Amino acid sequence: MARDPFSVIFSLVQPLVFLGLFTPLLIGSSGESTAETLAWFVPGVLAMIVLFGTGATGSNLQYEMMTGSHERTLVAPLSRASLLAGRALKEVVPIVVQVLVIVLVSVPFGFRPNVAGLAIGIVLLAAFGVGLGSLGMRSRSSPRIVSGCSGPSSRASSSRC
């Protein structure tokens, strides 16, 4: 987080901009009160934060694979599953911070979260974020078959490999 302050600031400001721009439009078009509109719009924005934030995890891994820094971490005496889980779990802290900031900013405008529901929602969003981040990283780190050659046995049987 400290190495890339732009991403942290952008990931916090973008949902606030969405709330500021779309809440008045949704209130006007739905005819509901501000509190009723925020009751369904804020959870949607929170789910969007998790999808966008963890979706970038796989692309970050791909960038590290292209630059070679990922290969340096593979020599560590850890299993590959724990490396992927660690990368995915590092997404939990920004997700929780973003959720709390969005909820705290929305409360003065009429959003009334249920504390137990908010706690369960944060846990579910964090678990969903870890799962989606792991899936994105797994899809980026899986071995690829290049031109039909997948290993030593295919090299012996084919002259193209």
Asked if pLDDT for residue 155 goes beyond 60, the answer is: no
Q: Which residue has the higher pLDDT, 41 or 6?
A: 41
Arithmetic mean of pLDDT over the chain: 75
What pTM value is reported for the model? 0.67
Coil, helix or strand for 133? helix
Q: For the residues 25-48, what does the mean pLDDT come to? A: 87
pLDDT for 21-34, tens place per residue?
888 888 888 888 88
Q: In the 3-class helix/strand/coil scheme, how is 82-111 assigned residue by residue?
A: HHHHHHHHCCHHHHHHHHHHHHHHHHHHCC
- Alpha carbon distance 2, 120 (integer Å): 28
Higher pLDDT residue, 12 or 145? 12
List, for residues 110-154, the tens digit of each pLDDT value.
Answer: 888 888 988 898 888 777 777 766 665 555 555 554 444 444 444
The residue-averaged pLDDT of 62-72 equals 76
Q: Which residue type, as a one-letter code, is found at position 1?
A: M
pLDDT in the model for residue 5: 73
Q: By three-state DSSP, how is residue 112 classified?
A: coil
Pick the closest to residue 87 from 17, 136, 50, 125 (CA basis). Answer: 136
Q: How confident is the model at residue 47 (pLDDT cuts 50, 70, 90)?
A: confident
Q: With H, G, I as helix, E, B as strand and everything else as coil, classify residue 146.
A: strand
